[in-house]
Structure 1
Amino acid sequence: MVTDKKVRDEAFGSLRTYLGAQSEISELDLLKLWKGLFYCLWMQDKPALQQRLSRDLASLVSTLRDPVVMPFLRAFWLTIAREWSHIEALRLDKYLYLIRQYVNVSFQFLSRNNWKKEVVEEWNNVLEEVPLECKDMKIPNGLRYHVMDVFVDELEKVGGSEWEEKEERKQTLETLVQPVEKMAKEGKLKVLRVAAKECLADERLRAWRGQEDEAIDEPEEEDEEAEWGGIED
């Protein structure tokens, strides 16, 4: 096992070096890479080692050149969405942790770019295409829920008190929450809209946005389609 770990660490180091040297990587190559990385985590036993591997996988983002970051993140989300239905209950926790790490490193990337509006909007486009897409039921709802569940936690870790203290961050914050706002209004299922509203109602987020008044629950219309109506005859 020691040898296996040594070989894996050496391979991971080579991967970091390779990725860091690329100014462009095709979508196909990124999807192939992510399928391999997904199953690398799949095979990893023991929670402590799983978490370490997840952090190592997330650290890849910091080695990338800026033009590669968004395509790399998009390939990550596409892979997670595609493989989600195959994740067994006993393996789910390590992927939930990996997703949390990727939300965090995405915010770190935006912070390193000083939260430039065009970069934040590009990140929003990735979110709205995959994990926070509102209508396509091929996107797993469990993925949607988890991203919204960790959204404020990871934003707080990266931005901290500056969200409330720095006036220039207010507009950045309003841009960042747009995918969640969109889900709250346009989510195909009521449960998705409710989850988005719960995210937006987080006391920390409301304080950062200067929403001191108490949140008011709006009446929900019934879904046109249930999430799953059973098997028809």
Structure 2
Amino acid sequence: MDETIEQTYLPLGKQLAANGFWMSDKPLIQQALANDLGGLVMELPASNAIPFLKAFWQIHCQEWHGLDRIRLDKYYLLLRRVIYFSFQFLAREDWDAVYLDAYNDMLLEGPLHPTDRTKPDAIRYHIIDIYYEELEKVLDDARLQSEKDDLDVPMEEINRPMTVVAKEGLTKILRNKAKEAMKEHELEMAAMAEGDEENDDEE
């Protein structure tokens, strides 16, 4: 990963997210800003996307404990949009192994680090809670565009951050949370597949 690119994005990301977003108070403005900030990754050259995301998560892990409680909800929204657009970026690149590996490594070295106590648990838990929700939104969009239910998606590699946290997480709560997220997603996918089979039989 190009550390020069990453260092370039650190001050920009801090200005946009930690300062500009901090000043937004009205819900509609917050939603629009969260969408715009999250979507920045789609506007960058593909080779710059992961360094940008690494800088984003580094900033928010560093600044998280300084946030006012009354401002947390809008920051949770911002984190959600960043996860969503990260999956959008990976899908746009056809889940290229180089980008997907780099993205997973970035998460596991950053906000989802399984044992680093300096990373806020609140961010870890939030990513685990929304990870598969945001993935499915992106996959639903892809299914509509391709008109196919069975997409060629490398789920084993997409699951890797959750798998690592489930095995190596510092606390039992963290490990169980990751395990439960994976299990719930697995059950949802099985139910979806069963429903598709029933629809095919009816036709």
- Category of TM-score, reference length = shorter chain: 0.7 to 0.9
Match of 1:205 in 2: 186
Pairing partner for 1:187 from 141, 164, 169:
169
Tell me the CA shift for residue 205 of structure 1: 3.3
Mark the runs of 5 or more structure 2 residues left unpaired by the alignment.
194-203
Q: Distance in 1 between matches of 2:41 and 2:190?
A: 28
Q: How many percent of aligned residue pairs carry the same amino acid?
A: 37
Instruction: Compare the two structures and name the one with the higher helix fraction.
Output: 2
Match of 2:135 in 1: 155
Stretch of structure 1 that moved more, 113-122 or 70-79? 113-122
Q: Distance in 2 between matches of 1:206 and 1:123?
A: 25
Match of 1:166 in 2: 150
Match of 2:33 in 1: 53
Task: Work out which of the two has the higher radius of gyration on C-alpha atoms and give 1 or 2.
Answer: 1
Give TM-score scaled by structure 2 length: 0.84
Give the 3 Å change call, closer, same or farther, for CA 44–140 of structure 1 in structure 2.
Answer: same
Q: Distance in 2 between matches of 1:90 and 1:193?
A: 28
Give TM-score scaled by structure 1 length: 0.74
Contact 1:25 1:68 in 2 (8 A): no
Q: Distance in 2 between matches of 1:53 and 1:206?
A: 34
Tell me the CA shift for residue 209 of structure 1: 7.1
Tell me the CA shift for residue 157 of structure 1: 0.4
Give the 3 Å change call, closer, same or farther, for CA 117–61 of structure 1 in structure 2.
Answer: same
Letter in 2 for 1:55: N
Superposed CA offset, 1:41-91 (max 9, x none): 001111111111111111211110011100000000101100010111100
User: Superposition RMSD on alpha carbons, in Å?
Assistant: 2.2
Q: What SS is found at the alignment partner of 2:21?
A: helix
Match of 2:201 in 1: none
Mark the runs of 5 or more structure 1 residues left unpaired by the alignment.
1-22, 213-233
Pairing partner for 1:139 from 110, 119, 130:
119
Contact 2:5 2:48 in 1 (8 A): no
Stretch of structure 1 that moved more, 190-199 or 143-152? 190-199
Q: Distance in 1 between matches of 2:98 and 2:127?
A: 22
Q: Distance in 1 between matches of 2:96 and 2:19?
A: 34
Match of 1:73 in 2: 53
Higher relative contact order (CA 8 A, sep 6+): 2
